[in-house]
Amino acid sequence: MAIVFFVHLHWVTTGFDMDFLDRQIKIPLSNRTIPVKYALVHTAYWVLITGFFLYEKRYLIYKAGLPYFVACVVIRVALLIGIAYLNLHYLLPRYLLTGRYLRYVSLVLLSIVGYLLIQAFYDYLIYGFIIAPTQSRNWLETLSYNFFSTLWYLGLMVPLKLSIDWYEQQRLLQKIAVEKLQAEVNFLRSQVNPHFLFNILNNLYALTLKKSDLAPDMVLKLSEMMEYMLYDSNDTRVPLEREINYLQNYIELEKLRCGDYSDIALHIQGSPNGQEIAPLLLLPLVENAFKHGIGKQAEKSWLHGTLTLKPTAVDITIENNKPTTLPKNAKGGIGLTNLRKRLELLYPGRYTLQTEDRLNTYKAALHISFAES
């Protein structure tokens, strides 16, 4: 039955407005408050218990009359509610959960004995006087029935409470995991932006030193990229078309810096098809190639890229030549490491990132599937 109520709890908490179900309500004659969903689940439980007693004691309507029938059910349910919540809110947290098992069992048995004394008195009144001519009772059998039935109903409340507590704990852990993921993504994204700006500003500085006529065009493209980076990239998903445009602007800026002596080309195949992607995922492959490949060579540098757009996936391959030997003071970038972490957070199990570091060339290939398996 506890499983039934756990399923009921899941249905309640997923089928309605969570804000309403999490709202706190005050318990009558008490300063304590409980969530609405807690009240709904427990109300459903006691409605079922009351229904069972109504069915079990229905013969009293004919033998003792409706008032005694109602009183019998009300007294039984009220007593059960009393010892159940004494157990849940006092005995369970104070003794069982603190490892004081013997004290807990003793006090539970004592509360059941109190229930039996009150119930036995009422049973004696009902069966000993009111319907005595038509009903005889074995007191040992009556006490045994009341004891084990009470223990049974009391025991049901413990797994019910533990089920609710477990579910709430899982919801809390899930919420913490989502918040942690978002915090990590935001942190990793904040690392991308300064890294990118550092490279572009260096490029612009080089053009201004040469008094190049290309500087104004570079500033315009940079302003478009800054708009994307400052506003669109704060969203969890952006149109794939915008991400591609951002990538193309970056490549055009690098072309302006490198001049005619470099062979730089990105071939795009297919259409974005209205797909969305997490922002700033395609740039690190290209940025890494310029920073550690073309940017380290004075001439005869090249970068060839292919961006393939599919209905449910995107593939990008970037290959470039690089110096045979790197300077001893060369600093490693955070780009690809950052990218791999973001992919693991945003597209777990739906991406592949492969790199080939050869003597004179470097190749990186990224596949992202938009369809969840």
pLDDT of residue 307: 96
pLDDT of residue 14: 45
pLDDT of residue 186: 66
- pLDDT, tens digit (0-9, with 9 covering 90-100), for 197-239: 776 788 778 778 877 777 787 788 888 888 887 777 778 889 9
Between CA 276 and CA 271 the distance in angstroms is: 12
In Å, what is the CA distance from 173 to each residue of 21, 91, 176? 18, 27, 5
In Å, what is the CA distance from 143 to each residue of 118, 124, 132, 135, 332? 11, 11, 18, 16, 80
- pLDDT, tens digit (0-9, with 9 covering 90-100), for 108-161: 788 877 777 777 777 666 665 455 544 445 556 666 666 776 766 666 666 766
Kind plus residue range of the DSSP H or E element containing 313:
strand 313-321
pLDDT of residue 331: 46
pLDDT of residue 142: 63
pLDDT of residue 145: 66
User: Two tokens at 329?
Assistant: 């003071």
β-sheet bridge partners, residue 313: 310, 369
Q: Which amino acid is at 318?
A: I
Q: Which amino acid is at 303?
A: L
pLDDT of residue 291: 78
pLDDT by 10s per residue, the chain, length 373: 343 344 444 444 444 445 666 677 766 655 666 677 777 877 877 788 777 777 777 777 766 777 777 777 787 788 788 877 787 778 877 887 778 888 888 887 888 777 777 777 776 666 654 555 444 455 566 666 667 767 666 666 667 667 667 777 777 777 777 777 667 666 656 665 565 677 678 877 877 887 777 778 778 888 888 888 777 777 888 999 999 998 998 888 878 767 677 889 999 999 998 899 988 889 889 888 887 777 666 567 899 999 999 999 999 999 998 876 655 444 445 678 878 888 988 898 999 999 998 888 899 999 999 887 5
Say how many C-beta atoms besides its own lie within 10 A of residue 164's C-beta: 20
- Nearest CA among 118, 116, 109 for reference residue 91: 109
DSSP-H helix ranges across 57-138: 59-63, 66-86, 101-125
Domains and CATH numbers, the chain: 2-175 (no CATH), 182-369 (3.30.565.10)
pLDDT of residue 19: 61
Q: Provide the whole-model pTM.
A: 0.53
